[in-house]
Each structure stands twice: as C-alpha cells, then as structure tokens.
Amino acid sequence: MPQISQEELANDAEIPINQIGRIERAEIKTSLSTIYKISKALKINPKHLFDFEE
C-alpha cells in the first residue's frame, strides 16, 4: 500500500489532523463513523484496520 501523510489522510477523511495523530498513537478511542471515514479515504475495507497479522 502506498504511504500517505497524516495531513493527506485527514483531508481525505475530513477529520482534524490532530485526531489522526492521536488515533495513531492510541491516545484516544475512536468511533465507528471515524473508522469508516478513514477506511474510505484509504480505499480499504474497515476490517483491514483491525487485521494485525503480518
């Protein structure tokens, strides 16, 4: 998967950039609607955000 900056993801998902950083650092829990926005911006199925197997 190509890399995307936090700023690009925030813009594409229409959520604040600081929220992306806080989610990435596990400082906050997020809602299903935000997970959906992030997965839509990344063009992936939301379940892939929870697939921790390599």
Please state the domain extents for the chain: 6-50
Which of 6, 4, 2 lies closest to 15 in space, CA to CA?
A: 6
Return the structure tokens found at 3.
């890399």
pTM summary value: 0.85
Each residue's pLDDT expressed in tens, for the chain with a length of 54 residues: 679 999 999 999 999 999 999 999 999 999 999 999 999 999 999 999 888 776
Which of 20, 45, 40 lies closest to 30 in space, CA to CA?
A: 20
